Amino acid sequence: MLKTKKKILLIPYFWDQDLYKQLKKESLKTHKIYFSEHLIFDNYSIITGFLGYPQILSLLNIIDINEKEFFFLGTAGSLNKSIIEPVSINITDIYSSSIYKLFSKAKILPLNIINNNQIKKGTCVSVDIPMRETKNWLKTQRKQNIDAVEMEIFPIRVFIKKPLTAIIIITDKVSGNKNIKLMNKKLIKNEFFNSFNMITNLLNK
């Protein structure tokens, strides 16, 4: 089993590589596992470097998750036409898509709400691979007023069988089978940095 701290922050990819390098130096211990990295600090662990649900579920499978508290910091594509630039969103509810019927019959599961008015609240849907979003699929999601789409949160939520605290950063807008990257990478990096600090404040409580 992988020994971690009680609080675990899951980050698919570090958009702020300078921050990542700094954290690796500051960590008590760092080691690679399943092509990902595990960083250990006084009050929490970080697991980073994964894409999609198969890899992260493989990692969670070797953790004793019963007494653990999970946090997630990732990126997503915007389904909300009013979201036109990078922004951080605290996901309050995660929706399933048809591929995840194998995991759970639930169509929507609640997540933890961060008690902070400085971060936008919203909903998200998980898909299994990029570019899964057809025009009909997008129409269905928008009818439910879902704000964004990503690839890991719903299967993680089902696997751990309890709510987690999740922040996603909008990096692109989704239209049909085409993702248009938002060009302001500096703003994406800033959003990542600020959201990371918000989560670590919770981790250190």
Q: Is residue 185 part of a domain?
A: yes
**In this structure, what token pair is assigned to residue 125?**
């849907």
Residues of the chain with pLDDT > 70, as a percent, come to 94
**pLDDT tens-place string over residues 18-43:** 999 999 999 999 999 989 999 999 99
Q: Please check the confidence at residue 152 and state whether its pLDDT lies above 70.
A: yes
Is the per-residue pLDDT at 181 higher than 80? no
190-195: average pLDDT: 97
pLDDT of residue 196: 98
Structural domain contains residue 84: yes
Distance separating alpha carbons of residues 46 and 101, to the nearest angstrom = 29
- Please report whether residue 14 resides in a domain: yes
34, part of any domain? yes
**What band does 59 get if pLDDT is binned at 50, 70 and 90?**
very high
The answer to whether residue 27 sits within a structural domain is yes
Tally of domains in the chain: 1
Domain containing residue 17: CATH number: 3.40.50.1580
Q: How confident is the model at residue 182 (pLDDT cuts 50, 70, 90)?
A: confident
More reliable by pLDDT, 135 or 111: 111
Binned at pLDDT 50, 70 and 90, residue 180 comes out as: low
Residue 54 inside a domain? The answer is: yes
Whether 188 contacts 171, CB under 8 Å:
yes
Q: Which residue range is the domain that position 183 belongs to? A: 7-203
**Does residue 1 lie within any of the structural domains?**
no
What number of CA atoms fall less than 13 Å from residue 105's CA on the CB side?
0
Percent of the chain's residues with pLDDT above 90:
75
Q: What is the pLDDT of residue 203?
A: 97
- The answer to whether residue 2 is domain-embedded is no
Residue 11 scores a pLDDT above 70:
yes
